[in-house]
Amino acid sequence: MPHSPNDGAEPKQDNSAGPDASGADLLAAAGYSQTTNTEFYSPIPDGYQKGRHRYLVVLGTVMSGLGKGIFSSSMAKLIKDKGLTVAPIKLEGYLNIDSGTLNPFRHGEVFVLDDGTECDMDLGTYERMLDQDLSKRNFMTAGQVYRDILERERHGGYLGRDVQMIPHVTGEVKRKLRELAMHGDGTKPADIVFVEVGGTVGDYENGFYIEALRELAFEEGPGTVCFVALTYIIEPQALGEQKSKAAQLGVRRVLETGIQPHILACRAQSRITPVVQQKLAMFSNVPLNRVFSMHDRSSIYSIPEDMRQEGLDREILSVLDLHGKVDMAHEDRAREIWTRFVRKLTAPRARHIRLGLTGKYAALRDAYASIEKCVEHCSTHLETNIEIQWIESTDITEDNAPSRLADLDAVIVPGGFGARGVEGKISCVRFCRENLVPYLGICLGFQVAVIEFARNVMGLASANSTEFEPGGPDVVISELPDQKRIEQLGGTMRLGGQDVAVKPGTLAHHLFGGRDLVRQRFRHRYEVEPDYIERIEQAGLMFSGRHPDHPIMQVLELPCTDPTGRGVEHPFFIAAQFHPELTGRPIRPQPLFMGLLAAAIQRKYPDAELPPRWLRQAEGVS
C-alpha cells in the first residue's frame, strides 16, 4: 500500500515556508503531497522512516478520570528502564490552545513544562514517573490541530481542495505523532510513542483522534501499534460483587471504531476476580494474560513493578516485536533504584507530622497534585508520615488563624490568581513568621510573604499588590511594565524554565547543593516592586534568589536574626516566585520541600537523625 501520497516521490518538508509562500510550498512544508486524487492522503514528515518507531495507544471507556495517564506513564517507565527511548503525548479534545485559561475547579492543576507550555496535569505524571523533561511536542489539543489547519488553509496550503475531517484533520494528528516519534526524548528518536487520548471512546470531541490512530495503525502496518483499552469494573456495595457489563459495553465502543485492543486495563476498587477477567477476555478477543487488574493501590509508584510481575511489559514488547532492543543490565540497575524507593515508600514509619496547605482551591486536591506528589516523595526520603491538612484560605482571618493553624508542624501557601482568599493567606504567613512555624511560599505564597512583611514589620499598613488593589499607596508587588520586553514571551506572563541566581551563604544556596545558578519553572505576572527591594532587605527580609540580569526577586528567606526583635532564629521561612513542585521527582526530591519538612521534623522530634543536606543548622548557612 502506498504510504507517500504522491506517485512514489518522497514529500519534502521545507521549514522555511513562510506566510508568503505558495500553496504548494506550504503543503510540502507540512509533509503533504501536491497530488490530491488519492485516498492515501497522509502527511509523512521528511526523513520519517516507516517501521523505525512503534506506538502504544491508551483509550478510555465507561468514564473519564480512571487513570489512563497512570497506566501509560507506568508502562512507559518499564519500557524506558529496559534501555528504550520513549516519548509520551496527551491528546486533549477541548478547543483551548492550551490549559492556561482552565479553571482548576474544572480541570485540576495546570502543569507547566520547561519550554513554557501550559498543559494537562497528566504530563506531570509522565515527567515524575519517567524523570524526563517534556515539551510542547508532548501535548496536543483539538484547538491546536484546528488552528494549524485553518492557518494553512487561509494561506492556500491545500491548493483549493475542500478541507475535511478526513483526511486533513486526521492527517494533521498523524503528522504531529510522526514528528514526535522522530524527535523522541530530545536526544534520540523514540522507540515507542505513548499516546494517551483524553476522555472516553464515544465522546464527540475525541472521535477524530481515535480515527487518526486507526489510520496510523493501518498505514504503519502490523506490529507497529499496540492498543490498550482502559475500562472500569463496577462493584456496587449493595451487591457485594464485581459487575463487568459496563466494561463490556465500553470495549464494544472501541471495537465499533475499527480498533481491536491488544491489552485491557481494568480499574477497580479491588483486584478483579478470575470470573470477570475471563468474561472480558472472551468478550473482547483479548488473551487472558493481557487483561490487567489496575485496582486501587496505596501509591501509583507501585504500579510499574506490579505490571512487571504480571508480565504485561513483555506482552507489549511481543505485540510490538521489540524484545531484541532490551538492555537487561540497564533494566536491572533501574529496577533496583526504583524498588529501593518503593520499599521505603511502603515501609512503616515512627514519625508523623501535620502539614497545612492553605490554598484557594483546597476543596479540589487535583488543583495541587504536584505539591501532593512532592510531599509524598519527601516523606519517603525522610521516612516520616506527612498528613496534609487541606485548609481553604478564604476561611482564615487574623482572629482565627492561631486556632486554625495551631496544631500544624509546617505550612505551605501555594500559588493562585485573583483576590479571593488572599487576606487569609497573609494571615497564615503572619502566624508562621511570628510563631516560628516552618513556612514555604510558592508563587502567590512568595508575594503575600512580601506583603505581610511590609505591613507588619515595616509598618506599611496599606501594603498590597496591584493585582488586588491597583493604585494603592504602598504597592510592594506590581506587574513590571518592561517584563514583556525582558522575557520576550509575547505576553505579560513569565512561563517555563528560567535561571535563578542564588546568593552564597543563604539557606536557598545550601538547599540547592551550593549551586550559584539553578533553573526553575515559573508561571506568574507579578513581581516585587523594584523601588521597595532595598527597603525590604534593610528591614530584615533577604532576597536570596534573583534574576541573573534584571531586578526580579525570585527567592526570599528570613535570615538567622529574627526581624520581630525577639532574637530567635526562625527554623525555616522561605518562599519562591517559581513553582518548585513542578520539578520534583521521586528519586530526586525537591530541595525546598525537603528543607521545609526536615525543619518540621526537627522541630517536633529534636533527636531525629536527618541528612545534614536539608538542615538549616548546617555549616555555612547564615
Distance CA 16, CA 13 (A): 9
SS3 content of the chain, % helix, strand, coil (to 5): 40, 20, 45
Longest CA span, the chain: 83
CA 530 to chain centre: 32
DSSP letters spanning 42-84: ----TT--TTT-EEEEEEE-SSS-S-HHHHHHHHHHHHHHTT-
Question: Distance between CA 613 and CA 595 in Å, rounded?
Answer: 8
Q: What residues form DSSP beta bridges with 406?
A: none
Q: Say if residue 167 is preceded by a cis peptide, omega within 30 of 0.
A: yes
All three cell numbers of 395: 476561611
C-alpha cell at 279: 468474561
**How far is Cα 263 from Cα 291, in angstroms, rounded to an integer?**
6
Instruction: In whole angstroms, give the CA distance from residue 202 to residue 62.
Output: 9
What is the spatial distance between Cα 508 and Cα 592, in angstroms, rounded to a whole number? Answer: 8
Residue 543 has which C-alpha cell?
532576597
In this structure, which amino acid lies at residue 281? A
Give the C-alpha separation, 100 to 522, whole Å: 13
Side-chain-side CA neighbours of residue 5 (13 Å): 24
- What single DSSP character describes residue 347? S
State how far Cα 420 lies from the chain centre: 25
**Packed helices 274-284 and 245-256: angle between N→C axes, nearest 10 degrees:** 20
> Cβ(124)–Cβ(373) under 8 Å?
yes
**All three cell numbers of 277:** 477477567
Taking alpha carbons only, the member of 341, 336, 405 closest to residue 373 is 341
Q: Do residues 541 and 452 make contact, with C-beta atoms less than 8 angstroms apart?
A: no
* Residue 380: its H or E element: helix 369-381
> What would the grid cell of residue 21 be?
509562500
The vertex-44 CA angle with 40 and 47, nearest 5°, equals: 145
**Strand partners of residue 477:** 465, 528
Catalytic residue list? 443, 579, 581
